Amino acid sequence: MGSNIIYADEGSFEGRVLKSEQPVAVYFYSEDCPPCTAFTPIFDRMAEGYGDRMRFVKVFRQQNRRLAESLNVKNSPTLLFFKDGRESCTRLNGYISKSEFGGALENVLGGKCPPKLKSRVNCDVLILGGGPAGLSAAIYSARARLYTVVVDEGIPGGQVATTFHVANYPGTNGVIRGTDLVENMKRQALDFGAQIDDLKEILEVNLWGGEKLIRTEDTDYYAKSVIIATGAEPRKLPAEGEREFRGRGVHYCATCDGAMYQDMDVLVVGGGNSALEGALFLTRYARHVTILHQLDVFQAEKTIQEDVLKNQNISIIYDSIVKKVLGENFVTGVVIENVKTGEVREIKTGGLFIYIGMQPRTHLFKGVVGMNEYGYITGDGDMKTNIQGVFVAGDVREKSVRQIATAVSDGVIAGIMVEKYINRR
């Protein structure tokens, strides 16, 4: 860690933050927090580049709850920015990208960084995305002695890195932490010779022709082939107030933020495996959990449904959606509507945890790679897309089942087929 990163607590916060002559970025973090695990390297890396112009401070939220509450910090990670002793700029929380953080830093500083010199990388296989699909593809292509580079806009791991326990991945003796599973995959890819470039914001892609080009803020990648494994992300709640209360009562990860709701009533929105598993997890902390589902039946596996239905701390509201999130500084309730009767009513809640599906990360490829009506990339059984030399793998691909095991399967196939493609060339 750079020497310009310092730690603060309730006693030192005034001196190290409020009385600082430089602007300050304050990072509230927690243990066992997957978004924090993903964001900490971003914070450390940005501190290296901006450390001469700004102070970077970390605060361990779980040991400084009074300080966090006084600043209305309710979840981890949360980023605050201070200048001349006052909070400035927009707060950031949840899954914070490097581009979001960089933009906020520039807003606080009010200037632009000097342009960076760009480097060039020529490779055989460029894999976009470092989740299970991308890492599995990297293992196979690197083992085939192909120069393989994995580029990820965040930290490798994908959705699995935010999963507290994985209980259905073959060969893991029942249960394994998502971060441990991904770390094993990453280490294996590196051992076979793959190169992993993380925290790379992708600005432009050109996939046509024999040589593909992917531009990031500091590197231009030229590749003979590309595997798209950018994955998917949680679908945001389409309700008034969602954006304003995101991180202040609206959450998308129960394992990340559930501990803050000790002895409170919370609401889980959704009806699939993730929603019901999240509700069960929240019963460890919350006084009562209510599941709100827009249909009259769940889509989750039967065993999970059975666990929910027999849990006395969980109640269910069917056929309903959230129309509006209520509150002032923090969520106090929601307005819900029955989709069958049209009845609208308010219910009180301390927080919302949203599990209403995923959406593919395909904005960079629209109009270029073939997609279905939902934005998922279409590919055949060999993971080939409509563009020669471009393959797709994982949750970003159009398919019926999205699990870690199916993402790994896609990645293996893509890694083998890309080797065959390059050998034919």
Catalytic pick among 124, 198, 257, 410: 257
**Distance of alpha carbon 127 from alpha carbon 187, whole angstroms:** 16
Among the options 123, 198, 253, 410, which is catalytic? 253
R_g (Cα) of the chain, nearest Å: 23
Assess contact for 185 and 382: CB atoms under 8 A. no
Alpha-carbon gap, residue 129 to 114, rounded angstroms: 28
Active-site residue, selected from the candidate residues 89, 256, 395, 410: 256
**Can you tell me which residue has the tokens 């049209």?**
342
Instruction: Evaluate whether 220 touches 63 at the Cβ level (below 8 Å).
Output: no
Question: Any alpha helices (H) in 26-171, and if so which ranges?
Answer: 34-50, 65-70, 98-109, 132-143
How far is residue 61 from each of residues 8, 94, 134, measured CA to CA in Å? 10, 14, 33
Residue type, 340: K
Return the amino acid letter for 110. G
Determine whether 382 is an active site residue: no
CA 248, 285, 330: angle at the middle one, nearest 5?
15
Task: Say which DSSP state 377 is in.
Answer: B
Which amino acid is present at 155? I
Distance CA 389, CA 224 (A): 7
Burial class (CB in 10 A: 0-12, 13-18, 19+), 187: exposed
* 256 given a catalytic annotation: yes
Active site residue 113: no
Which residues are annotated as catalytic?
Answer: 253, 256-257
